[in-house]
Amino acid sequence: MKKIILLLIAVLFSINIFAQNIDIDLLKNINSNRNNTLDIFFTLLSDTVAWIAFGVPCLLLIISLVNKIKMAKATALYIGAATIFAALFSTFLKHSINRIRPFVTYPFIQKLSTGGSPSFPSGHTTDAFVFATALSFAYPKWYIIIPVYLWALAVGYSRMYLGVHYPSDVLGGIIIGAGSATLLYLAKKALAKKKEQKRLSALN
């Protein structure tokens, strides 16, 4: 897992270094040519991330504890752990890379939302995609997977629409979010398999 994380960091650094020209052209097109009537919608959509990504695992955990559902508790803890891990990793990269926000570097980019920390990767997109991926692993039903990923994609787009992130910031957030949820899911499965093998060995 250590090698995978190091490879992920290398890929993210490469995206940040080589994508600048494409980044600003795409961002300018999205931000400058936006439909102003959608400003409030994308602002509100962007603001849903923390409530959903961190609130839903807490709600699931409370429900599982009240109803004493062991499986639901494990699911809630997995989604919560994945979200926290991705958020911490994203914050570490933000301050390590320390990329300036696009609206600071380019005055023609209009800032319509909050964005005080360094730019790369997008924290909102990271949170949205780690939640979407973890929830999809936990509940692999099409009627959950499709809506939650559409929401996550819309969140990523909103960060560019609102002028606070480059496209590569959003791409970095997608990779970190989906990657974190996948890594923790695989680790969870490996741990469960190891426990089952120990249980079978004890019976024999």
Q: What is the pLDDT of residues 7-34, one digit of tens each?
A: 656 665 565 555 567 888 899 999 999 9
- Is the pLDDT at 79 greater than 90? The verdict is yes
Query: Per-residue pLDDT averaged across 137-155, rounded?
Result: 96
Beta strands in the chain (DSSP E): none
Q: Give the rounded percent of residues in the chain with a pLDDT score beyond 90.
A: 67
Residue 118: closest CA among 137, 90, 144: 90
Helix (H) or strand (E) holding 105: helix 102-105
List, for residues 96-119, the tens digit of each pLDDT value.
989 999 999 899 999 998 777 899
Domain count, the chain: 1
Instruction: Please state the pTM of the whole predicted model.
Output: 0.87
- Is residue 46 situated within a structural domain? yes
Flag whether 29 is in a domain. no
Residue 25 lies in a domain: no
The 3-state secondary structure of 131-157, one letter per residue:
HHHHHHHHCCCHHHHHHHHHHHHHHHH
Rg of the chain taking only CA atoms, in angstroms = 19
Domain that holds residue 156: 41-189
In order, the DSSP letters of 52-77 are HHHHHHHHHHHHHHHHT-HHHHHHHH
Residue 14 within a domain: no
Phi, psi of 17 (to 5 degrees): -80, -45
Q: Is residue 96 part of a domain?
A: yes
Give Cα separations from 138 to 65, 75, 83, 178, 200 (angstroms): 18, 6, 13, 13, 25
Q: Is residue 140 part of a domain?
A: yes
